[in-house]
Structures are given as C-alpha cells and as structure tokens.
Amino acid sequence: MSRGRPSLADVRQQFEPLSIDLRGRSTPRQRCRFCGSDVVDLIDRLKEHLIKCVDFPANLKESLDLTTSKFRKNNLQSLDQLTDQTDDETQSTLDKVDIDRKLAKFFYSAGIPFTAIENPYWLDFIQTILPAYNSPNRRNLANNLLDAEYQVERQNLDKVLNNASNITLVSDGWSNIRRESVLNFILCLPKPIFYDAKYTGSESHTAEYIYNEFKSIIEDIGPSKFAGVLTDNASAMRSAWKLLNQDYPRLICLGCNAHIGNLLIKDILKLDWVERSMNQAKQIVNFFRTHHQAESILLNQLNTITLVQPVETRWGTCLDSIQSIRRCKLGLQMSVVQPEVSSKMTHDLKEQILGDLLWANLEALDYFLTPFVKLIRLFESDTPLLSYIYEEWRQIRESINAQVLDLNFKMKVHRLIDNRFEFAFHPAMAIANLLDPNFHGKSLGPTDFETIIIPYIEKVYTFEEAAHIYGVMQKYIAKTDEFSGALLWASIEYSSPISWWKSNFTHKFPVVVELACRVLSIPTSSAAAERNWSNFGFIHSKLRARLNNNRVKKLVAIYQNLRIHKEVKEDNWFEEDEV
C-alpha cells in the first residue's frame, strides 16, 4: 500500500525549536535531534541537513520525502545522486578534498590566522552559499592541510631544481618576534624561491657553522647546479666563503652590493658639508613629527602626506627625506609663520626654513646623493646584474667629477668609493662585464684582463681549460673568427646575454659558455633574503606569536612560493581597499 507524501511536519519532527540563539541570530533555527546541529528553520535547509546527517537513521531517511523545492546552482545534487553516495562521502557533488585544499591555500597565501575559519560569520557565510559543505576547523588548517600543501610545494620545488642550473644560494640572518635567531636560505633561479630556514638556537654564527649549513644545502641539491653564494658582508660570512671555496673552487661567493652602497652613503654622510645639511633636514622632520599640532597645520597646508623620516641602516632613505622636505618647501614656510608653530620652534630653525641657504644646500645634496641611491636600488633587483657593477661604479665616479663641488671634497668621496668598491670586488664582476656582449668589457681598465681575469681563470680551472678559455676570450675581445659576424653582435638586442652565448656557442666553446652562464646568472645583492624576512614578520606577527617555528617555516614557504606562482604583487592585495 502506498505510503503517500508525508507532511512537512514529519520533517520538522526530527528537530526541536531553538527558543534562544546563543550566537545572536534573528532567523528562527531548529536543532537536529540526532546530531545536535542547529539549522535555519527553512524546510529545504532542514531536508538538506537530514540528507547528509550521518546520525539520522537510514530507515527514517527512506520514509521521508527529502526532495528540496529547488537546488542552488552548481552546489547541490539531485536527490537520486545524493542517495547514491556512500556513507563515507560527506559532501554532495562537491569534491571536499579539493575545496579544502583551495580554501587552505587562500588562508596560507593571505596570511590569515587559523582561528578565522571558526569565526561565526565565516561559518554563516559558508552555510549560506554552500549548505552542503562543512568547512575545516583550525586544527585541520594548522596540521594535515598545512602538511599536505607544504609537501606539494616541496615536490614542485624538487621538479624545478631538477631542471635548474647556475643557482645562487642567498642567505641572511634575523631575529623573530620571540627574539630567536633564524637563518634563511633562498635559491635564485634567477627568480627567488624560499628553500629553508634554520632556527639556530644557542649556536653561535661562526664561519664553521655557516659553512656547514651552506655545504649541506649545496650537497643536497648538487654542487654542479650552483653558480654562487650571496650573503651580507659580515666577517663570519666572508670566512665561510673561504671554506666553501676550498671544497668548491668555482663557486663564486659575493657580498651584497646594495649593502655596500648603503655603507658608502653612510660614509659620505660623515663628511662635513653633507653631515651639516643632513642634520638640518633631520631637525625639520623631527620637529614636525614630534609636534602633532605643527604636523596637522602642515598637512592642512599641503593636503597630503608630508615628511619622510630617514631609517637607520637604510642610508639611502636620507635622499627620500631630503626630497620630501623640498617638496614641502612652501607648506613649511607657510606653517612656521603660524603662531601655534612659531611659538614652539627655535629661532634658528625657523630662520633656516625661511632663508635660502638651507634650500640651496638641500638641492645640492639631493643632486649629489641621487646617483648613489639609484645604484642601491638597481642592485636590489632580483635580476642578475653582475655585469653592471663595473659600469655603475664607473658612472658614480663620473657623476662626482661632473658636479660643481670643492676639489678636496671630491677627492674624499673618490677615496670612499674606491675603498668600498675594493671591499666588494670579486673577479667574477670583471668576467661578467667582459662576457656580457652588451658591455664587451668596455667598463674594464686597460690591464684588468691580464691582472684580474686571467689569474682567476688559472686558479679555478685546469691548465688545459684555462688555455682554452684564454684563446676563446682573445677572439671574443678582438671580434675575430667565430665572433666576427655583424649579425651576431646585432642579435644581442633581441636576446639575453645567456641566450646569446647558449644559442651561438654551446657546441663550439662549452667551457666558455658554462663560465659565461655562471657569472651572468648571479644577482648583485642579498635583497631576496632580506625581503623574505618581511614574509616571516607578516606570518609570525605579534598576533600569532605562539606559532611554533616548524609551522612558521612551512607557512612562509607556502606563502612566498604561492605568490610567486601566481605572480601576485605584494602591495595589491589589501592596500587599495584599506586606504
């Protein structure tokens, strides 16, 4: 005998009304008598819940008509499809594993705390758009989903490394939010990829310790795949280079050229005229930054963000500070005559701002420092620019000569430039400038080939290889034999230096091509490792200070590498909506 269509009351009998919603929601809700879940009191929602409720008896499920009046497009299955699922399947047609993974990748790539996934408004949102989906909890995000995604990232990295060559290992040190010491290890392929981080604990960062850490990574990946190692210029790092070169003579170990540029500006800021002008600029910035009323008046005059504070250790920011003052000249002069500002400012500082000498000095200092800051910002690029170092330092010297400055001052600056360049110098810089067909060694001195390049080649290559390299270089320099074609040299405009060497000479001069690719693949600074600390700071912030170190490392690896895969600009995700 036919049972007939049960009434809607039969469905609601499986629930009990909630008189008070502890979470403050106004929509009436019912609580399932079998699993205890609370559901919005809409008949379709109640039926959908009973369909997927694992505690709801199968015989009752068969006795009730649980067909919903409509389905949400792309999210719900028909009743026949739902009832065909096995008991182990917890979502209708949704692939829960795939959705969980994509949701987790969103959390990891945006640096969102795990607890956000249990936020009641998030749960309401998911319940509204995907009623059949159960969002993972914070423990899932922090453990199995994180481990799985990290494993995927490591597998992807292994695939990349299998095909990689001329890798540069970049490393830097840092202290996290708990003041624990960390070393990071970035691989430049040339695009930087986070490889690993080491929490050093009580270990001292000696040359031997650093050497062993570098060697472990080099051996794991394969020594033949590495072109160089790039670090800061600390004495322990430089000593570690020597130990590495004993094991790997062809490994090119360099210090950060952007750091050298910053140190050069620091040296220059100690010179009399520069120091006086910079101190005046700092007094102006400090006054307006420490007097909120004066700063407010200045802001009203300009209707924009105003003065830039120089950052310690980032000496290039002194130029940003000077330029911000010059842009605000009219606003500053209008502000200092206001009684509220004039009464709190010293007479000397007020006279400087209203006079002409300060502005003449700041203009000259702006013009003087600009080439040095351009050099730093060029070297902070992730693009391999080792061949540019000779040329950029040469242009710095020429820019000093072209400026109207006191001769003694110029001589002091030239000595500072020479000292810093000598400190940063490695023969690979000369070789890169020579073997980059864009330069063809034009930035080298007349004796650099015989006194710098050849001795280095003889040191790291066998006699037969060195003789071969010497012979090929002579033809390359003279543009004879295989290097004589006009089309050959014109073609450099349409390819990179590495592609130029590989496409034209891989089979003819493999040893020279290997050397060219090696020196032309190395970046000029450790900026990639320093930027990685921004990712560490973003992930391991004050709000997430309790994250354990192993979990932080995994999150940083996923966060950085996912953003590289999608080529997401770091500033675009939040700032436009949060201004």
pLDDT classification of 78: cutoffs 50, 70, 90 = very low
Q: Do 128 and 114 have their domain in common?
A: yes
Tens digit of pLDDT for each residue in 23-71? Answer: 455 568 888 888 888 888 888 788 888 888 878 887 777 777 666 554 4
User: Is residue 394 domain-resident?
Assistant: no
Q: What is the domain count for the chain?
A: 4
* Per-residue tokens: 162: 């299998």
Q: Mean pLDDT lowest for which of 23-27, 141-145, 166-170, 521-525?
A: 23-27
In this structure, is residue 68 part of a structural domain?
no
* pLDDT value for 146: 94
Q: What are the structure tokens assigned to 358, written together?
A: 């300060």
Over residues 400-420, mean pLDDT: 91
Among 126, 142, 158, identify where a domain stops. Answer: 142
Residues 117 and 208 in one domain: no
Query: Contacts by 209-214 with C-beta closer than 8 Å and gap 24+?
Result: 210/171, 210/183, 210/236, 210/237, 210/240, 211/240, 211/243, 211/244, 213/171, 213/183, 213/185, 214/169, 214/171, 214/240, 214/244
pLDDT of the residue at 84? 46
Alpha-carbon span 202 to 384, nearest angstrom: 35
Enumerate residues 6+ apart whose C-beta is below 8 A from 375. 261, 392, 393, 396
pLDDT digits (tens, 9 = 90+) for 348-377: 999 999 999 999 999 999 999 999 999 999
Say which CATH number the domain at 196 has.
3.30.420.10
Rounded to an integer, the average pLDDT of 81-87 is: 42
Residue 28 lies in a domain: yes
pTM: 0.78
User: Is residue 270 domain-shared with residue 363, that is, in the same domain?
Assistant: yes
pLDDT tens readout for residues 170-190: 999 999 999 999 999 999 988
Domain extent at residue 108: 96-142
If asked whether residues 205 and 157 sit together in one domain, one would say yes
> Which pLDDT belongs to residue 68?
56
Last residue of some domain: 360, 380, 400? 380
Question: CA-to-CA distance for 343 and 355, rounded, in angstroms?
Answer: 18
Residue-by-residue DSSP string for 240-293: HHHHHHHH-TT-EEEE-HHHHHHHHHHHHTTSHHHHHHHHHHHHHHHHHHH-HH
How sure is the predictor about 8, in pLDDT bands with cuts at 50, 70 and 90? low
Could you read off the pLDDT of 412-466 as tens digits, one per residue? 999 999 999 999 999 999 999 999 999 999 999 999 999 999 999 999 999 999 9
Sorting pLDDT into bands at 50, 70 and 90, what band is 315? confident
- Give residue 264's pLDDT band: very low, low, confident or very high (50, 70, 90): very high
Same domain, 225 and 125: no
Are residues 337 and 271 part of one domain? yes
Q: Is 542 among the domain residues? A: yes
Residues 268 and 372 in one domain: yes
Same domain for 366 and 350? Answer: yes
Q: Are residues 227 and 271 in the same domain?
A: no
| 515 within domain boundaries | no
pLDDT of residue 79: 35
The reply to whether 247 and 219 lie within a common domain is yes
**323 and 306 in one domain?**
yes
Q: Is residue 461 part of a domain?
A: no
Residues 238 and 152 reside in one and the same domain: yes
**What pLDDT does residue 304 have?**
62
